């Protein structure tokens, strides 16, 4: 065997032929390494759609590497020699292939970075970790941004990036004279519903994906989720098609209905691009450029385009910065001292709460729920119930096709569960069932009443909201943004407080909320 110079390690979320890891690649001297390993589906109880998303995209990327004549060592999940984990497999392949150096784009996950470093060190191999230039902002730049600031706020970071990258800018000022169109972006659908929403851009599964589906259904038979409606983009070409369809068909109403929910339709006017972005099938620069071009072509209003750009150039980059500047301690945060278990029905959808049943059914069927379902339905419930943040994190990391830790963890632990004590958001996102009633018609078809906080028909969200305020009253009173909500607690009589606490305790014991079969 000819001497191997560089072995380029490519992970399942690094599927970009132009990644920094390939700079200087010589197909006569170097080779690419990829491996499908069970550990990545078992370290959390990864859903079937999520595992298929990764493996099908990896196998299609392997074909793209072949077409680009880049030599590849690829281990399939069902290969008899499969080592079962990234570390074991890489170590075995290093012994077999004897490369002079390992090269890779810096992994997105802290855990994986430690594994690769350990393997390289044990093998005595130099490891060339390259900047992930997929992102607008490097970790070093984010660290600079964070230096000396008492608090980190997305809005400040976002404005800085708009200026720095000249996105939606007129000189030094934001186009339209406003940085933020949030106030225009909170509409619910009227009583007649969302009307003719364009169908989701769905891709027929090809032989490669079907083979993965059979494998996953066999190997991970007991894992949550279903595959009948798997139709995600798993190639670069499909990802680009999804982006174009979004810009053409959905972007113009994206902003307006960003926070709206409708039973049975998770897709609405959202982009459904997070998995393609996170696996690096799409580049955020092309996504932002396409949205901005739609504004200039008068195809979409500024409020929608700005709202969308804020998610990609703002939130997505910001959470990555938070993750890499806070890990590994971040994983351990539990500012609210929450210790309840996640209800078992989160994994099955068997609850009698209409809003949660719908969000969970979509999650299990598609590996997808839109942002407001994640934040203000599933996340809200777990927060107010008082679930241990690590369990909530393990659930979100397991169930969604777009779930990778650098983006999932800050969203879950920080934004949704307030477990970082206010680093990500200035206050906990708490609300009664009335919020859900305002943003969707779910409550009309529910056995509970969002206006009731105690009594047999009280909505569990409403009960838990008041219980949350009661349990955290002292701490929340110090937060000026919570003052109004906390003040309302003082208006409750002792008997009312006791009724709330008693019902919340029954919810925690599992006597309320789980689906009861006759
Ligand atoms: C508890 C919780 C867990 C989450 N876990 C993930 C996750 O594992 N992976 C993930 O990509 N997103 C996660 N998000 C953020 C967001 O909900 C998803 O990115 C979004 O729902 C994906 O659907 P979409 O592509 O249709 O997004 P759209 O609503 O159409 O938004 C457009 C794009 O903006 C980006 N984006 C929007 N909001 C955020 C955000 N808060 N953080 C980072 N990027 C954002 C995404 O890339 C998304 O594709 C989570 C949010 C919450 C509240
Ligand atoms: S009443 Fe409560 S549980 Fe039922 S759908 Fe409304 S918010 Fe959800």
**Contact in structure between 97 and 52 (CB atoms under 8 Å):** no
Q: Tell me, what's the pLDDT at 44? A: 97
Residue 497 CB partners (closer than 8 Å, separation 6+): 470, 489
39-48, 184-193, 242-251, 435-444: the lowest-pLDDT one: 184-193
Chain segment 193-243, per-residue pLDDT in tens: 998 999 999 999 999 999 999 999 999 999 999 999 999 999 999 999 999
**Pocket flag, ligand 1, residue 108 (CB < 6 Å):** no
CA of 288 relative to ligand 1 center, distance in Å: 15
27-41, 86-100, 179-193, 330-344: the lowest-pLDDT one: 179-193
**Pocket flag, ligand 1, residue 417 (CB < 6 Å):** no
**Pocket flag, ligand 1, residue 257 (CB < 6 Å):** no
pLDDT-based confidence at 1, cuts 50/70/90?
A: low
Chain segment 490-501, per-residue pLDDT in tens: 999 999 999 999
CA of 251 relative to ligand 2 center, distance in Å: 29
Q: Whose CA is closest to atom 3 on ligand 2?
A: 353
**Pocket flag, ligand 1, residue 370 (CB < 6 Å):** yes
CA of 371 relative to ligand 1 center, distance in Å: 6
Q: Whose CA is closest to atom 19 on ligand 1?
A: 274
Q: Whose CA is closest to atom 34 on ligand 1?
A: 311
Report the length, in residues, of the chain. 518
- What are phi and psi for residue 191, nearest 5 degrees? -60, -30
518: pLDDT strictly greater than 60: no
Q: Whose CA is closest to atom 8 on ligand 2?
A: 355
* DSSP annotation string for 28-63: TT-EEEEE--THHHHTTT--HHHHHHHHHHHHHHHH
**Pocket flag, ligand 1, residue 46 (CB < 6 Å):** no
189: pLDDT strictly greater than 80: yes
- Residue 30, judged by CB atoms within 10 A of its CB (0-12, 13-18, 19+), counts as buried
Q: Dihedral sign, CA of 498, 504, 505, 507?
A: positive
Q: Identify which ligand lies nearest to the alpha carbon of 436.
A: 2
- Token look-up 């989701």 returns 200
**Pocket flag, ligand 1, residue 109 (CB < 6 Å):** no
Q: Tell me, what's the pLDDT at 517? A: 65
498-518 mean pLDDT: 92
- Residue 489, judged by CB atoms within 10 A of its CB (0-12, 13-18, 19+), counts as middle
CA pair distance 324, 439, nearest whole angstrom: 34
User: pLDDT: is 425 or 200 the higher one?
Assistant: 200
Q: Identify which ligand lies nearest to the alpha carbon of 356.
A: 2
Q: Tell me, what's the pLDDT at 350? A: 97
67-76 mean pLDDT: 98
CA of 262 relative to ligand 1 center, distance in Å: 18
Q: Where are the alpha helices (DSSP H) in 367-450?
A: 371-373, 379-385, 389-399, 405-409, 433-439
CA pair distance 103, 135, nearest whole angstrom: 19
* Closest CA relative to residue 320, chosen from 106, 503, 513, 100: 106
**Pocket flag, ligand 1, residue 50 (CB < 6 Å):** no
**Pocket flag, ligand 1, residue 311 (CB < 6 Å):** yes
Residue 164 CB partners (closer than 8 Å, separation 6+): none
Q: Can you tell me which atom of ligand 1 is nearest the CA of 284?
A: 47
Q: Tell me, what's the pLDDT at 374? A: 98
Q: Can you tell me which atom of ligand 1 is nearest the CA of 379?
A: 1
Q: Tell me, what's the pLDDT at 48? A: 98
245-252 mean pLDDT: 97
CA pair distance 16, 132, nearest whole angstrom: 11
SS3 173: strand
CA of 374 relative to ligand 2 center, distance in Å: 15
Distances 186 to 32, 82, 181, 253, 436 between C-alpha atoms, Å: 46, 49, 10, 11, 13
Strand 72-75 relative to strand 127-130, pairing? unpaired
CA–centroid distance for 324 within its chain: 16
Residue 312 CB partners (closer than 8 Å, separation 6+): 277, 284, 287, 288, 291
- Residue 372, judged by CB atoms within 10 A of its CB (0-12, 13-18, 19+), counts as buried
CA of 271 relative to ligand 1 center, distance in Å: 10
Chain segment 294-324, per-residue pLDDT in tens: 999 999 999 999 999 999 999 999 999 999 9
Distances 297 to 107, 119, 166, 325 between C-alpha atoms, Å: 37, 51, 18, 39
Average pLDDT, the chain: 96
**Pocket flag, ligand 1, residue 379 (CB < 6 Å):** yes
Q: Tell me, what's the pLDDT at 325? A: 95
Q: Pocket residues for ligand 2 (CB within 6 Å)?
A: 353-355, 433, 436-437, 442-443, 446, 448, 450, 459-461
**Pocket flag, ligand 1, residue 400 (CB < 6 Å):** yes
Chain segment 435-490, per-residue pLDDT in tens: 999 999 999 989 999 999 999 999 999 999 999 999 999 999 999 999 889 999 99
Q: Which contacts (CB < 8 Å, 24+ apart) does range 233-237 have? A: 233/201, 233/203, 233/275, 233/276, 233/281, 234/53, 234/56, 234/57, 234/60, 234/203, 234/209, 234/281, 235/57, 235/60, 235/64, 235/281, 236/15, 236/17, 236/64, 236/281, 236/282
* Closest CA relative to residue 325, chosen from 152, 130, 162, 159: 152
**Pocket flag, ligand 1, residue 408 (CB < 6 Å):** yes
Mutate which of 351, 440, 446 for ligand 2? The one with the most ligand atoms within 8 Å of its CB, which is: 446
2: pLDDT strictly greater than 80: no
**Contact in structure between 301 and 257 (CB atoms under 8 Å):** no
Q: Can you tell me which atom of ligand 2 is nearest the CA of 354?
A: 5
Q: Can you tell me which atom of ligand 2 is nearest the CA of 461?
A: 2
Q: Whose CA is closest to atom 48 on ligand 1?
A: 274
CA of 343 relative to ligand 2 center, distance in Å: 17
Q: Whose CA is closest to atom 8 on ligand 1?
A: 403
3-state secondary structure 60-113: HHHHHHHHCCCCEEEECCCCCCCCCCHHHHHHHHHHHHCCCEEEEECCCCHHHH
CA of 509 relative to ligand 2 center, distance in Å: 19
Q: Identify which ligand lies nearest to the alpha carbon of 312.
A: 1
Which structure tokens are listed for 108?
Answer: 């997105």
């Amino acid at each position: 065997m000819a001497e191997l110079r560089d072995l380029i390690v490519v992970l399942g979320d690094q599927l970009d032929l132009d990644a920094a890891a390939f700079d200087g690649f010589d197909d006569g001297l170097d080779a690419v390494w990829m491996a499908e390993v069970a550990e990545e589906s078992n370290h959390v109880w990864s859903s079937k759609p999520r595992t298929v998303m990764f493996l099908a995209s990896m196998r299609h990327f392997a074909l793209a590497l072949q077409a680009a004549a880049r030599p590849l060592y690829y281990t399939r999940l069902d290969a008899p020699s499969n080592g079962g984990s990234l570390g074991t497999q890489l170590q075995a392949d290093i012994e077999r292939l004897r490369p002079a150096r390992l090269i890779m784009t810096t992994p997105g996950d802290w855990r994986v970075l430690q594994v690769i470093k350990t393997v390289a060190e044990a093998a005595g191999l130099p490891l060339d970790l390259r900047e992930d230039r997929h992102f607008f902002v490097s970790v070093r730049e984010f660290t600079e941004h964070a230096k000396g600031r008492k608090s980190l706020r997305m809005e400040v970071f976002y404005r800085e990036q708009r200026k720095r990258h000249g996105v939606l800018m007129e000189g030094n000022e934001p186009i339209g004279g406003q940085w933020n169109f949030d106030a225009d972006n909170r509409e619910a659908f009227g009583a007649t519903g969302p009307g003719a929403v364009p169908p989701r851009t769905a891709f027929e599964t090809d032989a490669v994906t079907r083979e993965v589906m059979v494998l996953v259904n066999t190997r991970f038979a007991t894992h949550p989720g279903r595959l009948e409606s798997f139709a995600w983009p798993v190639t670069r070409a499909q990802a680009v098609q999804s982006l174009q369809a979004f810009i053409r068909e959905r972007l113009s109403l994206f902003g307006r209905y960003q926070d709206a929910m409708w039973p049975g339709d998770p897709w609405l006017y959202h982009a459904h691009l997070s998995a393609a972005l996170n696996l690096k099938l799409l580049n955020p620069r092309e996504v932002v450029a396409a949205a901005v071009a739609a504004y200039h072509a008068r195809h979409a209003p500024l409020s929608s385009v700005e709202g969308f750009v804020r998610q990609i150039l703002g939130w997505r980059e910001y959470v990555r910065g938070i993750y890499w500047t806070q890990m590994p301690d971040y994983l351990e945060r539990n500012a609210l001292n929450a210790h309840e278990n996640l209800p078992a029905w989160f994994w099955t959808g068997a609850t009698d709460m209409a809003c949660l049943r719908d969000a969970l059914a979509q999650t299990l069927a598609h590996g997808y729920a839109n942002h407001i379902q994640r934040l203000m339905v599933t996340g809200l419930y777990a927060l107010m119930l008082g679930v241990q943040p690590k369990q909530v994190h393990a659930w979100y990391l397991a169930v969604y096709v777009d779930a990778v830790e650098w983006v999932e963890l800050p969203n879950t632990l920080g934004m949704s569960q307030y477990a970082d004590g206010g680093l990500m958001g200035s206050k906990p996102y708490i609300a009664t069932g009335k919020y859900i009633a305002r943003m969707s018609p779910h409550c009309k078809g529910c056995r509970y009443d969002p206006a009731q906080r105690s009594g047999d028909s009280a909505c569990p969200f409403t009960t838990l909201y008041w219980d949350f305020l009661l349990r955290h009253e002292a701490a929340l009173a110090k937060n000026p943004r919570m003052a109004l909500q906390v003040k309302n607690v003082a208006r409750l009589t002792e008997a009312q407080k006791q009724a709330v606490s008693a019902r919340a305790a029954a919810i925690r014991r599992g006597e309320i909320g789980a689906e009861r079969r006759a």
